[in-house]
Structure 1
Amino acid sequence: MTAAARTGGGSRNLVLAAMIFAVSMTFIDQTIVSIAVPDIQRELGLSSTGVQWAVNAYLLTLAALFAYGGRLADIAGHRKVVVIGVVVFACASLLCGLTPKGGAAQAWIVAFRAVQGAGGAVMFPAALGIVVQTFALRERGRALALFFGIAGGLTAIGPILGGYLTEWTWRAIFWVNIPVAAIALVLIAVSKPVTEHRPAPMDHRGLVLIAAGVTLSVFGFQQAEIWGWGNPGIGVAIGAGVLLLVAFVLVELRTREPLMQVRIFRNRAFRFENAVLGIAMLTFVPVFFFVSEYAQIALGKTASEAGLYLLYFFLGFVVASQIGGRMLDSRGAKRPVVLGCALAALGFLLWAGEVTDLDFSDQVWEVILAGAGMGMMLSPASTDAVNRASRLSYGEATGITQTVRNYAASLGLAVLGTISVTEFRNHLRQSLTARGVPAPQAAEQARHMAQANSTQSGGSPIPAFVRMDFAEATRTVLYCMAGVMAVAAVVAFLGLEAGLQPEVPQDGAEAGGGAGSGAVNRQPAPPGR
C-alpha cells in the first residue's frame, strides 16, 4: 500500500501545508538578503567581495548539495530528513542574525549562510518527496501546483518583507525564518507524513565529486562578474568543475549504490523535462534580480516598491500554475509545458518593448503574462520529471532536478549579468560622449558607473540619462530571456510526448533492487516513448 493510499484527504492537505511552510524559508532567502546588502555591508564593514559571498554562499551550497539531500532522504527517511533540514536552517538563520561586528564578521556570516544553504539542500528534496508520495499520480499536478505556486510566490515576498524588516534591523531578515520553522515542525508533528525509504550506504566518493564539480563551476560563473571573464582563473574554475562533473557521471555508472542514479536520464521524458527546466531556469531566478534593479534604478522605486513590482509577476505565476497542474492531471505534461514556455517568451518579448518608456503602468499586463507562462510550465515539468522515479527514489529524482535548476540559475545570473553590465556601460559611454566628455574619460566613467553598487547612491537622484541607459540594458536582457524561453518551447515540443503518463504498479521494479541499484524507474515505457 502506497503512502497516498494510507493518508486521508484532510491529512494529505495538512502534510502539504507542512511541506510548504518548510520549504518557504528556502524560497524567501533566495531574494530577501539582496535588499539588505547595503545595510549589512555598512554595519559589519564587509568588503565588496565579502558581501557578494554573503549572498552567493547560500546559492552555492544549495547547488552543490541537492543531490546529497535527495539521496539522504531516500535512504534515511523523508520525514526525518525534513526535520533535520528545518532545524539546521533555523539555527543557521539565528546565527546569521547574531553576526558580531569586527574582524570575524565576514567569515561568520559567509559560513552560516553556507550552512543555511546546506539545510535547504537537505530539506527541499525530502519535502517534495513527501508530497509526491502522499498524493496519487493523478492528484499530484494540483498538489504540486499549490506547492510550487505558493512556495515560489514567496520568492516575491522576500524583497518586500526584506525592505520593511530592514527599516527595523537587517538582522530580522534572518530571524523571520525561526517562527516559520516552528510552524513547519508543529505541522509535521501533527500530520505525521508516511513515506517509504530504503536504507543503503551513502556514496561518499560521488558526493565529493559532484560537490566539488558544482562548487568550482558555479564559483567560476559567480566570480565572473567580479573578476571579469578575461581572468584565467574563471576558465580554470569552470573547466575543472566540468571535468569533475564528467568524472562523477563515469564513477556513478560503475558504483553499486550510487549517490545519483544517472541512468534515469535514459528515460526520454525525464531527460527532456530536465532539459526544459534547465533552459527555463536561465531566466526564472535571474529575472528577480534584474527587475528589482530596473525598478530601483530606471524607475526610481524604493526597495519595498521594487518588491511590489515583482508581485505582478507572481500574480500571473500563481494563477497559471494552478491551470498547469490541472492540465497535467487531465492531459499530461506536454501541453502546459509547451504553452507555458511560449507564453513566457511572448511576455518577455512584449515586456522588453515597454521598459524604455519608464512607466510601470504600461508594463503590468506584460509582466503578468511572463509570470503566467513561467507558472504554467514550471510545476508540470518538475512534477512529471519526479513522477518518472519509483517510490523509493523520489528524493533522488528531486535532487537531480533541483541540481539542474540551480546550476542553470547560476549560469543565467552570470551570463545575463555580464550582458547587462556590458550594455549599460556601452550606453553610458555613448551618453557621456554626447554630453561633451572626451572619449577616454567617458569610457572610464562608464566603466566605473556600470560596476558601482547602484543601491548606494547616497540619496541623490539618479540622472535621467542613467535611468534611460539602464532601461536600455534591461531591454536587451529581457529580449535574451524571450529567446531562451522560445528555445525551451521548441525543446519541449520536439522532446516531450503527448498524453498522460501511465499509472503502472512499480512494486516489481522496486523489488529488483530499489533506487540505489538502478531501479529508479523500471516500468515499461508506453508505445512511442
Structure 2
Amino acid sequence: MSTAPAGGSPRYLVLAAMIFAVSMTFIDQTIVSIAVPNIQHELDLTSTGVQWVVNAYLLTLAAFFAFGGRLADTVGHRTMVVLGVLVFAGASACCGFTPTGSLAEAWLIAFRAVQGVGGAIMFPAALAIVVQNFALRERGRALALFFGIAGGLTAIGPVLGGYLTEWTWRAIFWVNLPVAAIALVLIAISKPVTQSRPATMDYRGLVLIAGGVGLSVFGFQQSQVWGWSNPAIGLCIAAGVLLLVVFAVVEKRTASPLIQVDIFRIRAFSVQNVVLGISMLAFVPVFFFSSEYAQIALGDSSSEAGVFLLYFFIGFVIASQLGGRMLDRGGAKRPVVLGCVLAAVGFYLWAGDATTLSFSEQQWDIVLAGAGMGFMLSPASTDAVNRASRLSYGEATGITQTVRNYAASLGLAVLGTVLVTDLRSGLTDSLVAQGLPQDQAESTAAHLSQVQAQSGGGSTSAIPDFFRVDFAHATQTVLYWMAAFMAAAAVVAMVGLRPGVQAEAPAEEEESLSAGGGPGQA
C-alpha cells in the first residue's frame, strides 16, 4: 500500500516546509565556528567556554535524537516539528541576545544546548513526515531533495556566517528567526498528514541512551583539549559505551521501549547504519578540516573558506538527485556502493593535490568527493528508514541520526589527533632544519600544533611558509584517512546489501511491527 496520504496535502509543499524546518539545524552545525573569534573577543569567553559554544549544540543534538524520534511517533510528527521549530527559534533568539559580563558564557552555552534539543525533536519528525507523504517508489527522489538542499545549507553556513559576522556575530543566530517563520507558515498551509501511535514514554531508556551517547561524545570532544593520555577521556568513553550496552539489554525487556532493538535484525537497516556510521567519520569532519586548511595553508579569509566548501556541495547536491533516482529505479545497493567508491577516489586525489597549495589543482577532486557523498548519503538514509514500519519512521530516523552524530564526533576526535600529531612531527623537522635544537623544536612544535586554528585569517604573509606546508601535509594525511573510511564503507555496502528494489510491506505486517512484534526475519 502507498504511504502517501490519500486525500491530502500537496506533497512538495510539505517537502518545502520540512526543508525549511530542518535547514536551521544544518546551518547551525557550521555557521557558529566562523564567528567564534568575534564571540570570544566581545564576550571575553575562556577557551573552554568557546569550545562549548560549539560542542553544547552537537552534544545535546546527538544525545536526544532517539528520544525525539520516539516522541514524534507517539505524540505526532507535525506537533513535534512545530514544537521543535519554536524551541530552536526561541533558543536562537536568546543566543543572539546574550548579555555581556559574567553571565555571558553560561547563558550562551545553555541556549546552544537548548538549540540542540530543539533540533533533536524536530529532525526525526520532519523526515518521518516526508517519508509518510511519499510512496515508496517516490521517496528516493523526495529525500534526495530533502538531504541535498538541507545538506547544502551546511556549506552555506560558513559563507553566510562570514558575511553576517562583519555586521554582528549575533546575526548568525537571528537569521534562524525568518527561516522558522517561513517553516511554520508552510506547515500551516500544507497541513501534512501523518500517522502516529500513542504509547507510554520509556524514561528509563531515555536516561540510559542520553547518558551513554552524551558521555561518550563528551569524551571524544574533550580529547582535543585534555589529550588522549588523560584517563578521564577513556573513563568517559568507557562509561558511555557501558550505558549503551545496558540500554540495549534493558530495551529488550521493556514492554514499550524507547527503541525497538529488534529492528537491527533487519539486515538492510543494520548494514545501512554501519555504512552511514563509517561515512560520517569523514563527512562531517571534512567541513572542519577543509575550512582550517583553506584559512591556514591557502591563506583564505573566513568567507573565502566557505566558498571553498561550496565546491564540495556542487558535487553533493547534483549527485544526490541522481542517487535518489537510482534508488527509486533499482534499489539502494548500486548508488550506495558507487557513491562510497567515488568518495574514496575523490578524497584520495584531493589528498594527493593538497600539498600543491593551489586551489585550482584541487577543485575537481573536491567536487568528486562531494559527488560520492551525495550519491550514497541520501539512498543509504532513505533505505534504512524505509525498513521501518510506517508508524515507526521517527524512531528509525532517530536511530540513524544518533549513529551519524556519534560517528561524526568520533571522526572529529580521531582525525583531530591525526592532524595534530602529523603537524607536530612536520613542524619539529622544519624547526630543526632551521637550526633549532631538537628539544626546543619539539616544545615549539607542540605549542604551535595546538594553536593552529588561530593561525589563519586571510593573509598568507602572517603565516610562515614552512607552517603552511606542514599544515598541508598534515591535512593530506587526514584526507587519506577519509579515503580509507569511504573505501571501507564501500566494502561493507558491497558485501552486506542485496540488489533490487524494496517491496512495500503489507499493512498488516506493518501494524504487527509497530505493535512490538519485532521485525522477524524481514
Letter in 1 for 2:128: G
Please state how far the C-alpha of 1:438 moved relative to its aligned partner. 1.0
| Distance in 1 (alpha carbons) for counterparts of 2:432 and 2:206 | 53
Tell me which residue corresponds to 1:26.
Answer: 25
Please state how far the C-alpha of 1:448 moved relative to its aligned partner. 0.7
Higher mean displacement: 382-391 or 454-463: 454-463
Higher mean displacement: 259-268 or 459-468: 459-468
Please state how far the C-alpha of 1:511 moved relative to its aligned partner. 3.6
Higher mean displacement: 444-453 or 271-280: 444-453
CA contact (8 A) 2:455 2:463 kept: no
Distance change in 2, residues 1:442/1:501 (3 Å): same
Tell me which residue corresponds to 2:491.
Answer: 490
Deviation readout 1:355-413 (Å, 9 max, x if unpaired): 10000001111000000000000000000000000110000000000000000000000
Map residues 116-515 of structure 1 onto 2, 5 A cutoff: 116-455=115-454, 461-505=462-506, 507-512=507-512, 515=514
Tell me which residue corresponds to 2:44.
Answer: 45
Letter in 1 for 2:410: L
| Distance in 1 (alpha carbons) for counterparts of 2:515 and 2:500 | 29
CA contact (8 A) 1:129 1:394 kept: yes
CA contact (8 A) 1:93 1:178 kept: yes
Deviation readout 1:279-327 (Å, 9 max, x if unpaired): 0000000000000000000000000000000000000000000010000
Tell me which residue corresponds to 1:98.
Answer: 97
Q: For 1:392, what is the secondary structure of its paired residue?
A: coil
Tell me which residue corresponds to 1:4.
Answer: 4
Letter in 2 for 1:484: F
Distance change in 2, residues 1:511/1:150 (3 Å): closer
| Distance in 2 (alpha carbons) for counterparts of 1:382 and 1:3 | 18
Tell me which residue corresponds to 1:70.
Answer: 69
Letter in 1 for 2:373: M
Distance change in 2, residues 1:500/1:3 (3 Å): closer
Distance change in 2, residues 1:2/1:331 (3 Å): closer
Distance change in 2, residues 1:3/1:268 (3 Å): closer
Letter in 2 for 1:103: S
| Distance in 2 (alpha carbons) for counterparts of 1:151 and 1:367 | 19
Letter in 1 for 2:464: P
| Distance in 1 (alpha carbons) for counterparts of 2:504 and 2:464 | 60
Deviation readout 1:261-289 (Å, 9 max, x if unpaired): 11100000001000000000000000000
Please state how far the C-alpha of 1:516 moved relative to its aligned partner. 5.4
Please state how far the C-alpha of 1:343 moved relative to its aligned partner. 0.3
| Distance in 1 (alpha carbons) for counterparts of 2:121 and 2:28 | 15
Distance change in 2, residues 1:313/1:511 (3 Å): closer
CA contact (8 A) 1:257 1:516 kept: no
| Distance in 1 (alpha carbons) for counterparts of 2:511 and 2:53 | 45
Q: For 2:414, what is the secondary structure of its paired residue?
A: helix
Please state how far the C-alpha of 1:518 moved relative to its aligned partner. 3.9
Please state how far the C-alpha of 1:461 moved relative to its aligned partner. 1.2
| Distance in 1 (alpha carbons) for counterparts of 2:2 and 2:369 | 38
Q: For 2:355, what is the secondary structure of its paired residue?
A: helix
| Distance in 2 (alpha carbons) for counterparts of 1:223 and 1:303 | 25
Between the two proteins, the alignment pairs up a number of residues equal to 520
CA contact (8 A) 2:389 2:511 kept: no
Please state how far the C-alpha of 1:6 moved relative to its aligned partner. 1.9
Q: For 1:320, what is the secondary structure of its paired residue?
A: helix
Please state how far the C-alpha of 1:510 moved relative to its aligned partner. 3.8
Deviation readout 1:105-140 (Å, 9 max, x if unpaired): 111111000000000000000000000000000000
Letter in 2 for 1:483: A
Tell me which residue corresponds to 2:109.
Answer: 110
Please state how far the C-alpha of 1:503 moved relative to its aligned partner. 1.6
Please state how far the C-alpha of 1:195 moved relative to its aligned partner. 0.2
| Distance in 2 (alpha carbons) for counterparts of 1:34 and 1:141 | 32
| CA-atom RMSD in angstroms | 1.3
CA contact (8 A) 2:5 2:132 kept: no
| Distance in 2 (alpha carbons) for counterparts of 1:162 and 1:516 | 46
Distance change in 2, residues 1:3/1:511 (3 Å): closer
| Distance in 1 (alpha carbons) for counterparts of 2:455 and 2:511 | 60
Q: For 2:501, what is the secondary structure of its paired residue?
A: coil
Deviation readout 1:441-487 (Å, 9 max, x if unpaired): 11111111111153366876111110000000000000000000000
CA contact (8 A) 1:331 1:500 kept: yes
CA contact (8 A) 2:280 2:408 kept: yes
Q: For 2:255, what is the secondary structure of its paired residue?
A: coil
Distance change in 2, residues 1:7/1:125 (3 Å): farther
Please state how far the C-alpha of 1:224 moved relative to its aligned partner. 0.4
| Distance in 1 (alpha carbons) for counterparts of 2:366 and 2:456 | 27
| Distance in 2 (alpha carbons) for counterparts of 1:380 and 1:341 | 12
User: What are structure 2's unaligned runs of at least 5 residues?
Assistant: none
| Distance in 1 (alpha carbons) for counterparts of 2:78 and 2:504 | 25
CA contact (8 A) 1:200 1:516 kept: no
Deviation readout 1:191-224 (Å, 9 max, x if unpaired): 0000000100000000000000001000001000
Letter in 1 for 2:227: G
Q: For 2:4, what is the secondary structure of its paired residue?
A: helix
| Distance in 2 (alpha carbons) for counterparts of 1:368 and 1:482 | 14
CA contact (8 A) 2:296 2:456 kept: no
Letter in 1 for 2:236: A
Q: TM-score, normalised by structure 1?
A: 0.97
CA contact (8 A) 2:75 2:198 kept: yes
| Distance in 1 (alpha carbons) for counterparts of 2:255 and 2:142 | 34
| Distance in 2 (alpha carbons) for counterparts of 1:302 and 1:364 | 17
Letter in 2 for 1:67: A
Distance change in 2, residues 1:484/1:452 (3 Å): same
Deviation readout 1:221-241 (Å, 9 max, x if unpaired): 100000000000001000000
CA contact (8 A) 2:299 2:456 kept: no
Letter in 2 for 1:476: T
CA contact (8 A) 2:268 2:497 kept: yes
CA contact (8 A) 1:38 1:456 kept: no
CA contact (8 A) 2:276 2:404 kept: yes
CA contact (8 A) 1:96 1:174 kept: yes
| Distance in 2 (alpha carbons) for counterparts of 1:453 and 1:424 | 9
Letter in 2 for 1:33: V
